[in-house]
Homo-oligomer: A and B are copies of this chain.
Amino acid sequence: MQKPKNIAIVGSGLVGALLSIYLKKRGHKVDVYDRRPDIRKIEFSGRSINLAMSARGWKALKKVNIDEEIKRIGIPMDKRAIHAIGKPVYFQNYGKTGESIYSISRSVLNKKMIDLAEKEGVKFFFNSKVWDVSLPEATLFVGETEKSEWEELKYDIVFGADGAFSRVRHKMQRRSLFNYSQEFLNTGYKELTILPNADGTHKLNKNSLHIWPRGNFMFIALPNLDGSFTCTLFMPFEGEESFSKLKTEEAVRDFFEKYFPTVKDDISNLVNDFFKNPTSTLVTIKCYPWTYWDKAALVGDSAHAIVPFYGQGMNAGFEDITVLNELMDKYNDDWGKIFKEYEKERKPNADAVAELSYRNFIEMSTKTADEKFILRKKIEKWFSDKYPDKWVPLYSRVTFSERPYSEALEIGDFQKSIMDEVMIMEEIETKWNSEEVEKLILKLLDRKP
């Protein structure tokens, strides 16, 4: 049992809300501040990609017994549905039978989490703009504008759960010896929607993450409970096929006609939404340290914002809380120790999932349409079914496992080196499930570092 503390969390997003539930259940007084209005009372902004909840996310929810409730607002997706141009849809299972990731609307989940936190007794202060933080004092300065009078709010501990452009981290960044990087992709994204059929059913296979891979760019669709799909167009800002080229209604219509003819007519209000919804950016943020004495810690995107191509942003943030919680069990009231161990344990995993996510854009947008890649996945699956102890595919390690991301990255690279050798075997297309292939893989596996 920890000694009750007076704790402030900056940011009422998914990670902030979940953390507040954990801390409240441990007997702490928890206040959550957010500069934005209460998400439950406003229209959401149309710049969201649906979430894909997987093992790490579920684990963190289960620990505080809210996983079942959240599962009810999600839709299981057990496969990719790949829509290559001029070919039938190709379905590729994500894992073993029964393994799924769950499509959940960010706004629906966020509202739910805030409801659950309030029910626990967490207090939320919306429209409360934190302009400055005194880290050694765990004190927030809140006010109308950056130059207005500020209210001084003293706590024992402050958590920064305020996202990629975190104010709490910003304060840390002014310290010496704070390493920091932000790197934007030249690819941006735009949200679009596919509405349900008249009878409320889904227009596309409901239990799939749909991908229209087109090389430099891609379109994806994730199912919602109401029969709709939340869709995202990922595309470079500049260049041959890019957002900069889609400035007129005609250009947008022609572009979708050319590259996405089979889905174009299902997109609701295509041209309208295209110009109404913002074009958002994608950024990878890394920093270190994540904590300050026993006074402050960053969690989720504020510590490690990643690009969305592995569906791990929220899952990684939730896993931060799992780790923090384990360390609270272990070190009890020694918050300095909890924070030191937390950042030390999480940092290499955050770096690993950042790298995996960055790489996965190429896999999703380009390779999923490639015959060789599909064969490679097929061989991996075949071998893995035969030797489940010897071969867990990278995707499964990241998505359906609770082992560290850094391990997944390392073993994934090793497996890739094996598959590279398999794929250059002569006539691999015909003998892909032969004893020869099996023997080669087994031999190469023995080289394991």
**Contact assessment for A181 and B184 in the assembled complex, using a CB-CB cutoff below 8 Å:** no
Task: Indicate if A2 sits at the interface (CB-CB under 8 A).
Answer: no
Q: How far is B186's CA from A179's CA once the two chains are assembled, in angstroms?
A: 11
- Say which residue of B176, B180, B183, B281 sits within 8 Å of A281 (CB atoms): B176
**Contact assessment for B179 and A182 in the assembled complex, using a CB-CB cutoff below 8 Å:** yes
Task: Indicate if A293 sits at the interface (CB-CB under 8 A).
Answer: no
Tell me the nearest residue of chain B to A279, going by C-beta. Answer: B176
* Contact residues of A between 165 and 213, Cβ < 8 Å to B: 173, 176-184
**Contact assessment for B177 and A281 in the assembled complex, using a CB-CB cutoff below 8 Å:** yes
Tell me the nearest residue of chain B to A284, going by C-beta. Answer: B179
Query: Which B residues lie within 8 Å of A182 (CB)?
Result: 173, 178-181
Query: Which B residues lie within 8 Å of A178 (CB)?
Result: 182, 184
Q: How far is B147's CA from A183's CA once the two chains are assembled, in angstroms?
A: 31
Binary CB contact string for chain A from 252 to 292 against chain B (1 if under 8 A, 0 otherwise): 00000000000000000000000000000100000000000
- Say which residue of B147, B177, B183, B184 sits within 8 Å of A184 (CB atoms): B177
* Contact residues of A between 151 and 174, Cβ < 8 Å to B: 173
Query: How many residues of chain A are within 8 Å of chain B by beta carbon?
Result: 13
Query: Which B residues lie within 8 Å of A184 (CB)?
Result: 176-179
- Say which residue of B147, B173, B177 sits within 8 Å of A147 (CB atoms): B147
Nearest Cβ distance between residue A306 and chain B, in whole angstroms? Answer: 15
Nearest Cβ distance between residue A181 and chain B, in whole angstroms? Answer: 4
Q: Give this chain's copy count.
A: 2
Tell me the nearest residue of chain B to A280, going by C-beta. Answer: B176
Q: How far is B146's CA from A147's CA once the two chains are assembled, in angstroms?
A: 8
**Contact assessment for B181 and A180 in the assembled complex, using a CB-CB cutoff below 8 Å:** yes
Q: How far is B284's CA from A180's CA once the two chains are assembled, in angstroms?
A: 11
Query: Which B residues lie within 8 Å of A181 (CB)?
Result: 179-183
**Contact assessment for B179 and A183 in the assembled complex, using a CB-CB cutoff below 8 Å:** yes
Tell me the nearest residue of chain B to A185, going by C-beta. Answer: B177
Q: How far is B283's CA from A178's CA once the two chains are assembled, in angstroms?
A: 10
Q: How far is B237's CA from A177's CA once the two chains are assembled, in angstroms?
A: 10
Tell me the nearest residue of chain B to A186, going by C-beta. Answer: B177
Query: Which B residues lie within 8 Å of A177 (CB)?
Result: 184, 237, 281
Query: Which B residues lie within 8 Å of A173 (CB)?
Result: 182
Q: How far is B181's CA from A399's CA once the two chains are assembled, in angstroms?
A: 29
Nearest Cβ distance between residue A130 and chain B, in whole angstroms? Answer: 16
Tell me the nearest residue of chain B to A174, going by C-beta. Answer: B165
Tell me the nearest residue of chain B to A147, going by C-beta. Answer: B147
Tell me the nearest residue of chain B to A148, going by C-beta. Answer: B147
Nearest Cβ distance between residue A307 and chain B, in whole angstroms? Answer: 14
Query: Which B residues lie within 8 Å of A147 (CB)?
Result: 147
Nearest Cβ distance between residue A411 and chain B, in whole angstroms? Answer: 28
Query: Which B residues lie within 8 Å of A180 (CB)?
Result: 180-182
Nearest Cβ distance between residue A23 and chain B, in whole angstroms? Answer: 31
Q: How far is B189's CA from A176's CA once the two chains are assembled, in angstroms?
A: 13
Q: How far is B147's CA from A295's CA once the two chains are assembled, in angstroms?
A: 26
Which residue, of A173, A178, A183, has the highest number of chain B Cβ atoms within 10 A? A183
Q: How far is B174's CA from A281's CA once the two chains are assembled, in angstroms?
A: 13
Query: Which B residues lie within 8 Å of A176 (CB)?
Result: 184, 281
Q: How far is B181's CA from A180's CA once the two chains are assembled, in angstroms?
A: 5
Query: Which B residues lie within 8 Å of A281 (CB)?
Result: 176-177
Nearest Cβ distance between residue A174 and chain B, in whole angstroms? Answer: 8
Query: Which B residues lie within 8 Å of A237 (CB)?
Result: 177
Q: How far is B176's CA from A182's CA once the two chains are assembled, in angstroms?
A: 10
Nearest Cβ distance between residue A164 and chain B, in whole angstroms? Answer: 11
What residues of chain A have their CB less than 8 Å away from a CB belonging to chain B?
A: 147, 173, 176-184, 237, 281
Sampled A-B contacts (18; CB under 8 Å): A147-B147, A173-B182, A176-B281, A177-B184, A177-B237, A177-B281, A178-B182, A178-B184, A179-B181, A179-B182, A179-B183, A179-B184, A180-B180, A180-B181, A180-B182, A181-B181, A181-B182, A181-B183
4 additional A-B pairs beyond A173-B182, A179-B184, A181-B181, beta carbons within 8 Å, are A176-B184, A178-B184, A179-B181, A181-B182
Q: Which 8 A-B pairs have the closest CB atoms?
A: A181-B181, A177-B184, A176-B281, A179-B183, A180-B182, A147-B147, A179-B184, A177-B281
